[in-house]
Amino acid sequence: MSEKTKVLIIGSGPAGYTAAIYAARAGLKPVLFTGGQPGGQLTTTNDVENFPGYPEGINGPQMMIDLQKQAERFGTVINYGLVTGVDFSGYPHKVTVDENRTVEAEAVIIATGASAKYLGLPSEEKYANRGVSACAVCDGYFYRGKEVAVVGAGDSAAEESTYLSKLCTKVHLIVRREEMRASKIMQQRVLNTPNIEIHWNSETEEVLGDDQGVNGVRVRNNKTGEKKVIPIQGFFLAIGHKPNTDIFKGQLDMDEAGYLKVTPGSTHTNVEGVFAVGDVADKVYRQAVTAAGSGCMGALDAEKFLAAREMEMAHS
């Protein structure tokens, strides 16, 4: 037997919770499935300094706890479950949770976000959770007093290196070009931190280790061809993210990178009654505040869609 709901929200980052707050306050009694990382990407960051309304900044995980409480306060039902499949071919829409539970929904708001990318090296996989991590804030503590490396050159790499520099004796930042794409202010922080060493034009060839876990990384200078081994105990990836859209393949329109396509200026996907909000449909801005804003749009779009349907049914 399927469970039934009016509005089903997939994902629990700022986009999902904001959609829940708005849908709940509109009396739609939304049901939200958190996914595998309750709270989303902000649970892997420390201070969020750019969310309006927090002059002193706010701790990412705390912000997500607050958003969850706010969504629950208005009647959102939060479920700790992973949506493993969807069927948008008929109506109502069908969603499978944890492989064995089916929920039918009149409107679905997708807020599944994006996940950290890896380089794709076999050695990276071999040492996963034994020295390789894609989240400095989650795992940095385990490497206090040790030497680590961070790969990447964007704001994440800058932020994670700076964060790790406070815990670790030394941070090696491995940058594949001769410049970073991180914002000037974040680059400046990196350059002003004495225990961060930047390895320019460097590509990771292999993560090295033994039974104890990671003990080094071999990098190659792509200008000179020179190779060197940097002794480290922790290897952190900060090379961007991939949208979490695998379960929607073949059902929803997406771009070449897998981001869901929406009608510009709205959250409508190509399927009626299915809305996409937050990073899953945004490869440009990717901010907590823009995700929250689009979560609000998704709830308003869903509300309008449901009201129009009800009107149609009443007149038919």
> Considering only residues 155, 197, 205, 206, which one is a binding residue for ligand NDP as defined by CB under 6 A?
155
211 secondary structure, DSSP code: T
At its nearest, how many Å lie between ligand NDP and the CB of residue 244? Answer: 15
User: 170 has which bridge partners?
Assistant: 147
At its nearest, how many Å lie between ligand NDP and the CB of residue 238? Answer: 6
Binding to ligand NDP by CB under 6 A, coded x per residue (else -) over 49-68, reads -x------------------
Q: Is 139 a catalytic residue?
A: yes
* Angstrom distance (rounded) from CA 175 to CA 239: 10
At its nearest, how many Å lie between ligand NDP and the CB of residue 221? Answer: 13
- Rank residues 161 and 251 by Cβ distance to ligand NDP and give the closer one: 161
Any contact of residue 258 with ligand NDP (CB under 6 A)?
Answer: no
Binding to ligand NDP by CB under 6 A, coded x per residue (else -) over 181-220, reads x---------------------------------------
Q: Which uninterrupted H or E stretch holds 31?
A: strand 31-33
Q: Are 140 and 114 in contact (CB under 8 A)?
A: no
- Rank residues 11 and 81 by Cβ distance to ligand NDP and give the closer one: 11
Q: Is 168 a catalytic residue?
A: no
Any contact of residue 152 with ligand NDP (CB under 6 A)?
Answer: yes
| DSSP code string of 130-193 | TTEES-HHHHGGGGTTSEEEEE--SHHHHHHHHHHHTTSSEEEEE-SSSS--S-HHHHHHHHT-
Beta strands at 213-221 and 202-210: parallel, antiparallel or unpaired: antiparallel
Which listed residue (66, 87, 98, 138) is catalytic? 138
Q: Which range of residues in 81-89, 91-99, 152-160, 296-304 is near ligand NDP by CB under 6 A? A: 152-160
> Considering only residues 19, 109, 134, 153, which one is a binding residue for ligand NDP as defined by CB under 6 A?
153
Which tokens sit at 115?
A: 């996940």
261 secondary structure, DSSP code: P
In this structure, what is the dihedral angle of CA atoms 71, 76, 78, 81, given to the nearest 10 degrees? -120
Burial class of residue 44 in the structure, from the number of CB atoms within 10 Å of its CB (0-12 exposed, 13-18 middle, 19+ buried): buried
> Considering only residues 159, 282, 301, 303, which one is a binding residue for ligand NDP as defined by CB under 6 A?
159
Binding to ligand NDP in span 215-244, by CB under 6 A: 238-240
At its nearest, how many Å lie between ligand NDP and the CB of residue 209? Answer: 19
Which listed residue (135, 168, 279, 282) is catalytic? 135
176-213 as b/e: b if 16+ CB within 10 A: beeebebeeebbebbeebeebebbbbbebebbbbeeeb
Any contact of residue 154 with ligand NDP (CB under 6 A)?
Answer: yes
> Considering only residues 170, 176, 218, 220, which one is a binding residue for ligand NDP as defined by CB under 6 A?
176
Binding to ligand NDP by CB under 6 A, coded x per residue (else -) over 2-41, reads ----------------------------------------
* Angstrom distance (rounded) from CA 254 to CA 286: 17
* Angstrom distance (rounded) from CA 8 to CA 28: 10
Residues that bind ligand NDP (CB under 6 A): 50, 119, 151-157, 159, 176-177, 181, 238-240, 286
Active-site residue set: 135, 138-139
